[in-house]
Amino acid sequence: MTTMTETSARFREFKMPDVGEGLTEAEILKWYVQPGDTVTDGQVVCEVETAKAAVELPIPFDGVVHELRFPEGTTVDVGQVIIAVDVVPGGGEAAAEPVAPAVAEPEPAAEPEAPKGRQPVLVGYGVAESSTKRRARKGTEPPAAAAAAIQGELNGHATVAADVPAPATTVVPESRPLAKPPVRKLAKDLGIDLATVTPTGPGGIITREDVHAAAAPVPAPAPASAPVAPTAAPEAVAVPVAAAPVPGARETRTPVKGVRKAIAQAMVGSAFTAPHVTEFVTVDVTRTMKLVAELKEDKDMAGVRVNPLLIIAKALLVAIKRNPEVNAAWDEANQEIVQKHYVNLGIAAATPRGLIVPNIKDAHDKTLPQLAAALGELVSTAREGKTSPAAMAGGTVTITNVGVFGVDTGTPILNPGESAILAVGAIKLQPWVHKGKVKPRQVTTLALSFDHRLVDGELGSRVLADVAAILEQPKRLITWA
């Protein structure tokens, strides 16, 4: 979808993009700019919340903010203009006074018809033809100018040809690496100089994969900064924002939108599509708790957060390795069972905006320290409300830790598209028969829900029994791995 239009050679408009997976609307959470502010190519101008997550939107051109079309808190359909920018401030037409976001009239002004030939080259950004029809002359455009023209298209706007040809002595700015604004932001976030990246895209364009490839050799074995965040994360958790109660009122109504709306739709769809079966087992995890205490003192685990969830996650991964058929999905359209030969391990996380389930990609390939670091980063990012839609896509199985709320267990509902979800209850000191005597032991209850269309009772029981056996005797992490 194209996200920019030209109201004139001076003003450009930026539309609400589809930030991923065919979403149709988003709520403007916060504006980072106001009318009259100067913006640059790639600068984040607002934060929006979709049904998946909160996402920051960069603007793909330079200029001065002329108008914000919607105030904060407004839900806007994909394709509607949200901001207008004066790209030639102080020049050309008579200067217009900057316009603040409309409140009484949130409907956007009529938009001019998009130029023909516009092609969606990136989610949220489009390629526009020059508004001036002009035949290109052969051999007259210097390489740097050609690069600038290509970059203009990547940014969502083509360079407008001047009515009068520029003199032959015009100084052409030095060309910069060709990349789309989101790719530039990714490189900035990762600390990668685009000039050092080898492009693989068509026409010498740098892609996301190129940036990730450039960053891959650099990571340290155990980042010290990643695990620190989880310890401070609980302080960042805030009470979900709801409508302020009116004194004396007996009811408060809160609009269903954003993440809460997505949760409701996903849970209803899952509960009434996949036939759920839930099995339970109570297990003595005293040895697991001792292992957690030992790992906290292990120098190889220095700098990462070690907790029972880490061992439970590793136990589930080993159980899946022993019973790979459980790691599958039901394809209703093609009437097929899709076997997954990788595990993207989802971790249900309660956030100020509601429940989300980001996942650890290729968790099955990670060592224990790597898994600990990934868990810490996932949890801290989720609590800060910065989880991206991509981080929540492609999960295969999920763990939900209801024990942190003091709950013994529950009957978890499958995350859509997955075949199993493991609920972990509170770990409590309870009387337990151990070696023929009743002793106080650390005990918890596990619950495994699975899709009975593709997971039979025997398979589900084996997976749950394997997880329980590992938590009872953690040495099985070695003997069964």
Overall average pLDDT of the 354-379 stretch: 93
Q: What is the pLDDT of residues 272-331, one digit of tens each?
A: 577 889 999 999 999 999 999 999 999 999 999 999 999 999 999 999 999 999 999 988
* pLDDT > 90: percent of the chain: 42
- Measured CA distances, 316 to 178, 190, 312, 429, 469 (Å): 44, 32, 6, 23, 11
Judge whether 364 counts as a catalytic residue: no
- Look at residue 168 in the predicted model and tell me its pLDDT: 43
- Look at residue 142 in the predicted model and tell me its pLDDT: 47
Q: Is the pLDDT of residue 174 over 50?
A: no
Catalytic residue among 66, 364, 434, 452: 452
- Look at residue 54 in the predicted model and tell me its pLDDT: 75
Q: Is the pLDDT of residue 132 over 70?
A: no
Q: Is the pLDDT of residue 126 over 60?
A: no
Q: Is 354 left (phi over 0), alpha (psi -120 to 50) or beta?
A: left
Rg (CA), the chain: 27
- Look at residue 370 in the predicted model and tell me its pLDDT: 95
In this structure, of 29-33, 167-171, 388-392, the range with the lowest mean pLDDT score is 167-171
- Look at residue 121 in the predicted model and tell me its pLDDT: 38
- E runs forming strands in 211-300: 276-284
pLDDT-derived band of residue 448, with 50, 70 and 90 as boundaries? very high
- Measured CA distances, 345 to 174, 339, 348, 394, 406 (Å): 46, 15, 10, 9, 23
- Look at residue 134 in the predicted model and tell me its pLDDT: 42
Overall average pLDDT of the 444-461 stretch: 94
Residues 6+ apart with CB under 8 A from 14: 3, 4, 45, 59, 60, 81, 82, 83, 84, 85
Q: What is the pLDDT of residues 14-62, one digit of tens each?
A: 998 877 656 788 889 899 999 999 999 889 999 888 766 778 899 988 9
CA pair distance 22, 165, nearest whole angstrom: 43
**pTM of the predicted model as reported, rounded to 2 decimal places:** 0.55
pLDDT-derived band of residue 98, with 50, 70 and 90 as boundaries? low
pLDDT-derived band of residue 268, with 50, 70 and 90 as boundaries? low
- Look at residue 137 in the predicted model and tell me its pLDDT: 44
Residues 6+ apart with CB under 8 A from 244: none
In this structure, of 6-10, 310-314, 379-383, the range with the lowest mean pLDDT score is 6-10
The residue among 452 and 210 whose pLDDT is bigger is 452
Q: What is the pLDDT of residues 143-162, one digit of tens each?
A: 444 554 444 444 444 444 44
Structure tokens that stand for 478 in this block: 């070695």
- 327, 422 in Cβ contact below 8 A? no
Which of 128-142, 167-181, 260-274: highest mean pLDDT?
A: 260-274
What is the pairing mode between strands 178-179 and 205-206? parallel
Q: What is the mean pLDDT of the chain?
A: 77
Q: DSSP assignment, residue 429?
A: E
The residue among 400 and 170 whose pLDDT is bigger is 400
Overall average pLDDT of the 375-401 stretch: 89
